[in-house]
């Protein structure tokens, strides 16, 4: 079975995929050829999952509970990120984290590094070696963080301007958040992104304490407006969270064409609050979905999508269907990141695929994608194909 969200309400169609090189050469509907390389009659094949917001340097910090965002950054995350001062450590950790993501079916992501430019470049090499599609960059910071993690604005921009695309990994301009970035740093970052056409990623309106701090640092101006005045809101900008936006700020995001990455597992884990996805959707804001590891403890994008449903229920809203959830973490996130040949099983698309063998009976199931979403079991993932290459096979786990 192939995940085809627009084919029918069930979202699944019997069929097969022919991969050649890094692309999908052909897609057939009906019975699979007798001699398939992967999968078979009881398999479900999805496009590779895409994570629109993740921090690779935080993979060893998952699960430290009980702290508010700003305390958690200071006591858990910043010390962890200091370890990326060693490029060898950063490269090894990026390799590990990338392999973890692939084992959960993730074949593309928008990722944050640390402030250490050379280490992040080494990390990019590791991500690219697994054929993953990514935007990835050093987290830019020049204030309100430990001195070891702050750099002079112009030096960070100069270092980043020396970056280039490696394999399928494109540099991303990543001012961490307004608390840790001076207006000078954010303005220079926006100018570099505009000159290169690179993606921009940052955090926006995640917690009440952060909102109060940004208001005090920027004379009470609305948080989204702070970014806009620095030129950071573009159609290639992904802002994560947006829990505490008002309609005026949602309208500003819509006018700029920027993407709001909803991170429901992170909002729950750090007890930030429940993001009102409906309100953003009604105002026409482009939406994506992210794990925000390690703010979010779960690396599986399917469980992040399930948390999106549970968050919608918790605030009394209509929740996306199973088909819509799987679409959100595949083609939806691809479109949000501007990856137009990604996230869909069709000829000419990039060959990022997750081959699963669910133990749930799907043939007679009234809502197969809902069943898969809510009962999701990572043991169902048999292979993850990234850029046409099998980068994970369950049989390798012994
Ligand atoms: Zn984050």
CA of 271 to the centre of ligand 1 (A): 14
Task: Give, for 322, the enclosing helix (H) or strand (E).
Answer: helix 322-327
CA of 23 to the centre of ligand 1 (A): 31
CA of 241 to the centre of ligand 1 (A): 8
In this prediction, residue 84 carries a pLDDT of 98
In this prediction, residue 32 carries a pLDDT of 76
The third-level CATH classification (topology) of the domain covering 2-47+343-396 is Urease, subunit C; domain 1 (2.30.40)
CA of 313 to the centre of ligand 1 (A): 23
Who surrounds ion ligand 1 at CB < 5 A? 292
CA of 206 to the centre of ligand 1 (A): 9
CA of 39 to the centre of ligand 1 (A): 35
SS3 250: helix
Instruction: Read off the tokens for 193.
Output: 């992104």
Strands 2-3 and 12-13: antiparallel
CA of 55 to the centre of ligand 1 (A): 6
In whole angstroms, give the CA distance from residue 58 to residue 73.
10
Domains in the chain: boundaries: 2-47+343-396, 49-336
Contact 193, 199 (CB under 8 A): yes
CA of 243 to the centre of ligand 1 (A): 13
In whole angstroms, give the CA distance from residue 15 to residue 254.
38
In whole angstroms, give the CA distance from residue 210 to residue 272.
10
CA of 295 to the centre of ligand 1 (A): 7
SS3 228: helix
Give the sign of the dihedral formed by CA 175, CA 177, CA 183, CA 184: negative
CA of 294 to the centre of ligand 1 (A): 8
Contact 76, 69 (CB under 8 A): no
CA of 354 to the centre of ligand 1 (A): 25
CA of 363 to the centre of ligand 1 (A): 39
pLDDT, block means (10 residues), the chain with 398 residues: 96 96 96 81 95 98 96 98 98 98 98 98 98 98 98 98 98 98 98 98 98 98 98 98 98 98 98 97 98 98 98 96 98 98 98 97 94 98 98 92
CA of 62 to the centre of ligand 1 (A): 12
In this prediction, residue 393 carries a pLDDT of 97
In whole angstroms, give the CA distance from residue 199 to residue 232.
10
In whole angstroms, give the CA distance from residue 150 to residue 101.
28
CA of 250 to the centre of ligand 1 (A): 19
CA of 293 to the centre of ligand 1 (A): 7
CA of 289 to the centre of ligand 1 (A): 12
Q: How many CA atoms does the CB half-sphere of 381 hold within 13 Å?
A: 28
CA of 112 to the centre of ligand 1 (A): 8
Which of these, 223, 272, 275, lies nearest to 73 by C-alpha position?
A: 272
In whole angstroms, give the CA distance from residue 216 to residue 61.
29
Running DSSP on this structure, what letter comes out for residue 33? P
In this prediction, residue 40 carries a pLDDT of 84
49-336 CATH choice from 3.40.50.970, 3.40.50.2030, 3.20.20.140, 3.40.50.2020? 3.20.20.140
């Amino acid at each position: 079975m192939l995940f085809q969200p627009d084919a029918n309400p069930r979202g699944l169609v019997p069929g097969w995929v022919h991969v050649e090189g890094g692309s999908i050469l052909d897609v057939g509907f009906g019975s699979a050829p007798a001699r398939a390389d992967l999968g078979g009659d009881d398999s479900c094949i999805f496009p590779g999952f895409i994570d629109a917001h993740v921090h690779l340097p935080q993979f060893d910090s998952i699960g430290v509970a009980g702290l508010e965002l700003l305390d958690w950054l200071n006591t858990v995350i910043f010390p962890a990120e200091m370890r990326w001062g060693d490029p060898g450590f950063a490269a090894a950790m990026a390799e590990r984290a990338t392999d973890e993501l692939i084992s959960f079916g993730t074949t593309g992501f928008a990722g944050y590094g640390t402030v250490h430019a050379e280490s992040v470049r080494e990390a990019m090499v590791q991500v690219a070696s697994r054929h993953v599609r990514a935007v990835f960059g050093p987290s830019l910071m020049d204030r309100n963080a430990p001195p070891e993690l702050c750099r002079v604005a112009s030096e960070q921009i100069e270092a980043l301007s020396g970056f280039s695309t490696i394999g399928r990994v494109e540099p991303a301009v990543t001012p961490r958040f307004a608390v840790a970035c001076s207006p000078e740093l954010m303005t220079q970052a926006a100018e570099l992104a505009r000159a290169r056409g690179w993606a921009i990623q940052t955090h926006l309106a995640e917690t009440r304490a952060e909102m109060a701090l940004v208001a005090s640092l920027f004379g009470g101006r609305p948080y989204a407006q702070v970014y806009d005045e620095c030129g950071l809101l573009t159609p290639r900008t992904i802002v994560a969270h947006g829990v505490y936006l008002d309609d005026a700020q949602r309208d500003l995001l819509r006018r700029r064409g920027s993407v709001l990455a909803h991170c429901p597992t992170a909002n729950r884990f750090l007890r930030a609050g429940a993001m009102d996805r409906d309100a953003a959707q009604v105002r026409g804001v482009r939406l994506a979905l992210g794990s925000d590891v390690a703010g979010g403890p779960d690396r599986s994008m399917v469980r992040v999508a399930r948390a999106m449903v549970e968050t919608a229920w918790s605030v009394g809203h209509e929740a996306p269907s199973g088909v819509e959830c799987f679409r959100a973490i595949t083609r939806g996130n691809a479109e949000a990141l501007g990856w137009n040949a990604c996230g869909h099983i069709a000829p000419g698309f990039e060959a990022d695929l997750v081959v699963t063998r669910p133990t749930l009976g799907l043939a007679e199931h009234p809502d197969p994608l809902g069943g898969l979403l809510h009962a999701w079991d990572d043991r169902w993932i048999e292979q993850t194909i990234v850029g046409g290459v099998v980068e994970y096979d369950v049989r390798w786990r012994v």
